[in-house]
Structure 1
Amino acid sequence: MSDGQSISVNFSREMPLFPLDAVVLLPQQVLPLHIFEPRYCQMINRCLDGSGQLAVAVVRDGVADLSGNPPLKPAVCVAQIVQHESLPDGRYNILLQGVCRARIVREEPPSQDRLYRCALLEPIGEPNPESEHLYGLREWLEAELSEGPLHHFAVAEHVVEYVRNEEVPNSAVLELVSFALLTDPALRYRLLAEGDLDQRAFLVRSELQELARLISLAEHQRPEMWPKGCSWN
């Protein structure tokens, strides 16, 4: 994980839109993708000739679309192509890293020579790595992931290393925890769309506290206490 905030983004230019249905990319997160649709192969080809950046968008739920360009939610994650492999048939394997939050201001449909959508974006929120809420969250995370119920997460040991590393900014720790421990797409989109760092810290801690409560409850449940036909697996 690198400091995505060190990557500059030119918000005065339109950004290619790469929509995903059930995946929400967050800043700092790394996402591997296999690109095979001709329109998105064209997008990646042009991105690699330029800044290497695109906006990962989220498809709006429950909206029927027959055009192949489904409506998108307003919040997006600007991403950088950090690795790519060009395949002989024109497809790509790419590795994206989330850079920052942004909002769609104006969307441009595909054109005669551009098969994909673009959008003019504006940044969401301002980073505040020294937030008091983040210091408290960092201390709580270290305790919960080391000895508390959250140590059951498969990635707990890896996350604790970043939490303890004082060279990793508080804001980056919050992003890491968000994408490493929280998997619900609706919650992840709320975190993507939320520009206030303290509010994101509150959302993350509230969700993890509830998960810790459920894990602790499961640890103390005996098989005879389970509902018939159910277990905590």
Structure 2
Amino acid sequence: MVQTLSINFERPIPVFPLSSSVLLPHVALPLHIFEPRYLQMTKEALDSHGLIAMAVFEHTPSEQEYQHGRPPLKPHVCLGYIAQYNPLENGRYLLLLQGVCRAKLVDEIDHEPYRMAHLSPIDIEPADDEQLAEVRQQLEALVLTSDFDDVDGIDELRQILSQDTPTFAVIDLAAMTFCRADAERMYTVLADPDAASRGRWLIEQLEHDQDD
């Protein structure tokens, strides 16, 4: 779940932008790749480093803008690694993209048919568990309450909390469990480079959800 991967940030990396799906480090995101440009992106990534940066559109583009333009992107992305792939008979791919680290877009290069950019990592050295002890304690107390028994994936998250998974990873996994359907919330977690700050924000959101 928490992994070490050597990444050369000197070279440009493929960028896969979406409006409603946000990848976080330590989280695995299933993807169905079917557009020709992203099929080419997938094939070329598989033939090289296996890396794809998941980005988020600044606004939901029109169909014309999406197909023929370069809609603006929000600055924060999550660099992912193709952990599993399954080529389908119709030429499409099913991917499992494993989130590796947060990064920021530095500059896009002139590249077709898909987008590529230079990235700058922003959370290579996460906080250690001693610094996050209070956040973990509060988060665990919330996650274990019966208020969230019906949340999809809650049993897996509780199991993770019972193990020695580092707290900075637990925070991202908890955010995916509780916020996956809310792209705005997910992007808030992605864009915050400080694990303690992300944890406190998530705790506030869960406490608010409890009160509703």
State the TM-score, normalizing by the size of structure 2.
0.90
Given the superposition, is the C-alpha separation of residues 62 and 95 from structure 1 closer, same or farther in structure 2, using an over 3 Å criterion?
A: closer
**Amino acid paired to 1:3:** V
Structure 1 equivalent of residue 96 of structure 2: 95
Give the superposed CA RMSD.
1.8
**Amino acid paired to 1:146:** L
CA distance in 2, matches of 1:69, 1:117: 8
Aligned residue pairs, count: 207
After superposition, where does 1:127-206 map in structure 2 within 5 Å? Answer: 127-132=126-131, 134-165=132-163, 167-183=164-180, 184-206=182-204
Contact conserved, 2:19 with 2:60, CA < 8 A, in 1?
no
Residue 26 in structure 1 maps to residue 27 in structure 2: no
CA distance in 2, matches of 1:15, 1:154: 32
CA distance in 1, matches of 2:117, 2:2: 25
CA distance in 2, matches of 1:74, 1:200: 18
**Amino acid paired to 2:176:** F
CA shift for structure 1 position 170? 1.1
**Amino acid paired to 1:181:** F
Contact conserved, 2:33 with 2:95, CA < 8 A, in 1?
yes
Contact conserved, 1:27 with 1:99, CA < 8 A, in 2?
yes
Greater relative contact order: 1 or 2 (C-alpha under 8 angstroms, separation 6 or more)? 2
**Amino acid paired to 2:189:** L
**Amino acid paired to 2:7:** V
**Amino acid paired to 2:88:** L
Aligned-pair identity (%) = 38
CA distance in 2, matches of 1:54, 1:173: 23
After superposition, where does 1:44-83 map in structure 2 within 5 Å? Answer: 44-61=42-59, 66=65, 67-83=68-84
State the TM-score, normalizing by the size of structure 1.
0.82
Contact conserved, 1:144 with 1:151, CA < 8 A, in 2?
no
Given the superposition, is the C-alpha separation of residues 55 and 154 from structure 1 closer, same or farther in structure 2, using an over 3 Å criterion?
A: closer
1:93-122 deviation line (CA, Å, top 9, x unaligned)? 1111111100000012334xxx11100000
Contact conserved, 2:135 with 2:196, CA < 8 A, in 1?
no
Structure 2 equivalent of residue 110 of structure 1: 111
Consecutive aligned runs of 4 or more in structure 1 exceeding 6 Å deviation: none
5+ residue gaps, structure 1, are 215-233
1:159-203 deviation line (CA, Å, top 9, x unaligned)? 1111121x2111111111111112321121111111112211121
Structure 2 equivalent of residue 3 of structure 1: 2
**Amino acid paired to 1:105:** V
Alignment equivalent of 1:40, drawn from 35, 38, 41: 38
5+ residue gaps, structure 2, are none
Which segment is superposed worse, 122-131 or 53-62?
A: 122-131
Structure 2 equivalent of residue 207 of structure 1: 205
